[in-house]
Amino acid sequence: MNAEPAPLPRLTSEFAHELPELSLPWSAAEFPDPKLLVLNEPLARELGLDPVLLRCEAGTASLLGARLAPGSEPVAQAYAGHQFGSYAPRLGDGRALLLGEIVDAGNRRRDLHLKGSGRTPFSRGADGFAAVGPMLREYLMGEAMHALGIPTTRALAVLGTGARVMRDESLDPLPGAVLVRTASSHLRVGSFQYARSLEKSDVLPRLVDFAIDRHCPEAAGAPQPALRLLRHVVEAQARLVAQWMLVGFVHGVMNTDNMTISGETIDYGPCAFIDAYDPAAAFSSIDWRGRYAYGKQPAIALWNLTRFAETLLVELADDGDTAIELAVGELDRFDALYAAAWGLGMAAKLGVAHAGPAVSAELHEIAAGLLAELQQHRIDYTNAFRALAGAARGDEGALLALYPGEAAPGEWYGRWRALRPDGDAMDAVNPLYIPRGRVVDDALGAATEGDLGPFEQLLDAVMRPYEARPGYERFAEPAPAGAPRFVTYCGT
């Protein structure tokens, strides 16, 4: 028999098989009138998939989990999590499914995961669905982060379902969608919290082995594998959050169920990029206390890592005091790791990476001077670095134009120029196009009405963030002066 070419290859179901306590077998809902809205062709090729096959009807059915690839055994994953500091013992995939794992063209294993695929036993009263706007938002933000060189989960596709979802009693029902997400795994701090809570089972050590196999195989033969895993995650998260801070990214909902073991950014719900530099910037409508404000992210990351370390204590040593001492030894490295990653990144942003580690203290003072002025004058963070690159090339016009009235750069500026910054190197690391909140909202509003044009343009801009292109000027415009505070809503 001549088999039709399949849109998806054989998948593995390692997570489902090796950690059965951490998931429930489940199936995706059936949808009346599915339609592919966006397909990530570069990612499809990385995964060894054929975009032409994915665009066919069989491709749509495969992406939605309606037609299962061989080897696929979909499961809803179980996890716990601290949400805004309060512990929820059982969250889990309330509207998501892991279809299985795929080995990509670079021989790395990646999860293929659905979001918005219907209710599961973890739905806790919610509908299990997702609306087009938030799913396109996750696609866009993930690709923007990827283009900025920041580790992230990535969307392979967004499909309209043909169904409508109710989100707000006062609003009309919204068009529904499913996001097909890839990640090097969906293990979260909350996965370990959940596994740790299953005291009668031996799932925690198996989860440790699973995470090591996926994310730091070098730890497998080490004398203290769990300690090595902790070290690896502390390092990965310190680097990740430093990268967020350098681009002005505010995740918005850094609950422990939204922090990965891989060090990839996950769950683009209420996230946003800062406009003016402001450590207190918090955009999420539900984060009214600013727990997850821009400037608090490093401290929150360490708080989450501490929750992670707690789950591992029983694996670190038989004696509790020794285990705590070992864990604290790893957690104590976070601040220095973060500062080093941030310092290196800031040196690159300021075009003085060539000046070497000797300028480190000087660089911190220069950066502090700059950031204080950006905050004081409410100057756009992203645009400031592009303007500084111009100044490094001898054109101070754009930089001075950012300052209000008679104000001008202070003493840090002369010290910085004396380091002979490289303007072209700065343009290669400081984005011109980021997904700015209001622009994103407008594009998603249009997409919800059925016009994907603005979304596709914005996506194209942020996928090549460093290169100025005619017609894209509006994507580099700062928020209008005096605009009301930008607010994001949890992406359901």
- Does residue 142 bind ligand AMP (CB under 6 A)? no
- Does residue 127 bind ligand AMP (CB under 6 A)? yes
Point out the residue whose Cβ comes nearest to ligand AMP: 94
Q: In this structure, are residues 24 and 120 in contact, taking their beta carbons and an 8 Å threshold?
A: yes
Where does this chain touch ligand AMP (CB under 6 A) — which range of 124-132, 332-340, 387-395, 468-476?
124-132
Q: What residue 255 binds from Mg ion, ligand AMP, none (CB within 5 to 8 A, per partner kind)? A: ligand AMP
Where does this chain touch ligand AMP (CB under 6 A) — which range of 90-98, 99-107, 299-307, 417-425?
90-98
Angstrom distance (rounded) from CA 155 to CA 96: 13
The one among 128, 176, 343, 409 contacting ligand AMP by CB under 6 A:
128
Angstrom distance (rounded) from CA 192 to CA 311: 6
**Residue 104 designated active-site:** no
Three state DSSP letters for 348-412: HHCCCHHHCHHHHHHHHHHHHHHHHHHHHCCCEHHHHHHHHHHHHCCCCHHHHHHCCCCCCCCHH
Site for ligand AMP in 263-302 (CB under 6 A): 267, 269
Q: In this structure, are residues 129 and 95 in contact, taking their beta carbons and an 8 Å threshold?
A: yes
Where does this chain touch Mg ion (CB under 5 A) — which range of 241-249, 258-266, 334-342, 429-437?
258-266
- Residues 86, 91, 94, CA angle at the centre, nearest 5°? 140
In the complex, what is the shortest distance from the CB of residue 124 to ligand AMP, in angstroms, rounded to a whole number?
Answer: 6
Would you say 81 or 351 has its CB closer to ligand AMP?
81
Q: In this structure, are residues 180 and 157 in contact, taking their beta carbons and an 8 Å threshold?
A: yes
The one among 267, 287, 330, 427 contacting Mg ion by CB under 5 A:
267
Angstrom distance (rounded) from CA 366 to CA 410: 10
Q: What share of the chain is helix, strand, coil (3-state, %, to 5)?
A: 45, 15, 40
Would you say 244 or 413 has its CB closer to ligand AMP?
244
* Catalytic residue of the set 33, 50, 127, 257: 257
Would you say 69 or 490 has its CB closer to ligand AMP?
490
Angstrom distance (rounded) from CA 263 to CA 239: 8
- Does residue 250 bind ligand AMP (CB under 6 A)? no
- Does residue 95 bind ligand AMP (CB under 6 A)? yes
Would you say 90 or 438 has its CB closer to ligand AMP?
90
The one among 126, 166, 220, 401 contacting ligand AMP by CB under 6 A:
126
Residue 6 gets which letter from DSSP?
P
- Does residue 90 bind ligand AMP (CB under 6 A)? no
Q: What residue 290 binds from Mg ion, ligand AMP, none (CB within 5 to 8 A, per partner kind)? A: none
Angstrom distance (rounded) from CA 339 to CA 361: 12
Distance from chain centroid for Cα 365: 30
Angstrom distance (rounded) from CA 176 to CA 130: 6
Residues in the chain, overall count: 492
Q: What residue 91 binds from ligand AMP, Mg ion, none (CB within 5 to 8 A, per partner kind)? A: ligand AMP
The one among 13, 60, 191, 255 contacting ligand AMP by CB under 6 A:
255
Residue 284 gets which letter from DSSP?
B
Interface with ligand AMP (CB under 6 A), residue total: 20
Q: Which residue do the tokens 């009346």 mark? A: 32
197-200: which pairs have CB atoms within 8 A and are 24 or more residues apart?
Answer: 197/80, 197/89, 198/21
Would you say 122 or 210 has its CB closer to ligand AMP?
122
Q: In this structure, are residues 221 and 212 in contact, taking their beta carbons and an 8 Å threshold?
A: no
Q: Return the amino acid letter for 67.
A: R
- Does residue 91 bind ligand AMP (CB under 6 A)? yes
Would you say 90 or 417 has its CB closer to ligand AMP?
90
In the complex, what is the shortest distance from the CB of residue 115 to ligand AMP, in angstroms, rounded to a whole number?
Answer: 8
Residue 281 gets which letter from DSSP?
-
Where does this chain touch ligand AMP (CB under 6 A) — which range of 54-62, 249-257, 272-280, 395-403?
249-257
Angstrom distance (rounded) from CA 72 to CA 121: 19
Contacting residues toward ligand AMP, per CB under 6 A:
91-96, 122-123, 126-129, 253, 255, 257-258, 267, 269, 490, 492
Binding site for Mg ion (CB under 5 A): 258, 267
Positions annotated as catalytic residues are 257
